[in-house]
Amino acid sequence: MKSSFIYVFFLSVLIYLSSLYDPLISFIATLPFTRKRTGIIEVLVSFISFLVLSFFHRETFFSFTLRAISLINLYFMSSQLTDLKSIIDITKGKATPVIVAMAYYPFFYETTLEITTYARARGIKLYRVDKLLLPIVVLIVKTAEDLYTTVTLKLSGKYRGNFDIMPRRNDIIIIAYGVVILCLSLSLRF
């Protein structure tokens, strides 16, 4: 479900505003957009953080932990949901570093998943880091070289893309989700 950059950015702002009022709601709202293992790790980190902070009688700092995890999830969420063509349309082709940053996380996750899948198929144990590390490092270096070439390459001409401001069905769903999260955090706050 890809959406336009403007609407994903608006969703991120709405969830961030809801984290200012009730960080638990924004934390729960960003969990469905994370991977299963990542979500489990984030819940464990937040639970351990709550236990440590309550041991030291600093429960008020727990909201900062939830807010920080929510901000990290917002980056992951926006990199998964954003239609990269909409960024090109908005900036008229001048936002190559932004596109690279948005596309890097899903690309790295997919390639790491492929490397571990092939390692399992060949019978390599996943705890053997020395066997898994070489393909990952080679891939990272190759990708970094390709990105350097992409960023430094300057094409002549003008980009003639059309920026469509009309929201699509996915955009409306995302905005409605953000508004519901913000209203829920405001209603529970007051």
Q: Which residue has the tokens 């702002």?
A: 13
Q: What is the pLDDT of residue 43?
A: 94
Is 190's pLDDT higher than 70?
Answer: no
**DSSP string for residues in 42-107:** HHHHHHHHHHHHHHTT-GGGHHHHHHHHHHHHHHHHHHHHB-HHHHHHHHTT--HHHHHHHHHHHH
Global pTM exceeds 0.85: no
Share the mean pLDDT of the chain. 83
Closest CA to 46 of 65, 33, 22: 65
- Ranges of each domain in the chain: 1-90+165-190, 94-158
Which pLDDT tens digit goes with each residue over 12-58?
999 999 999 989 999 999 999 888 888 899 999 999 999 999 999 99
Q: What is the pLDDT of residue 188?
A: 80
CB of 77 closer than 8 Å to CB of 12:
yes
- Binned at pLDDT 50, 70 and 90, residue 150 comes out as low
What letter would DSSP give residue 3?
B
- Binned at pLDDT 50, 70 and 90, residue 172 comes out as very high
- Binned at pLDDT 50, 70 and 90, residue 130 comes out as confident
- Which residues, other chains included, contact 97 with Cβ-Cβ below 8 Å and sequence gap of 6+? 151
Give dist(CA 156, CA 16) in Å, integer: 39
CB of 38 closer than 8 Å to CB of 79:
no
**Rg (the chain; Cα; Å):** 20
Higher pLDDT, 136 or 51: 51
- The share of the chain scoring above pLDDT 90, in percent, equals 35
Give dist(CA 12, CA 21) in Å, integer: 15
Higher pLDDT, 168 or 98: 168
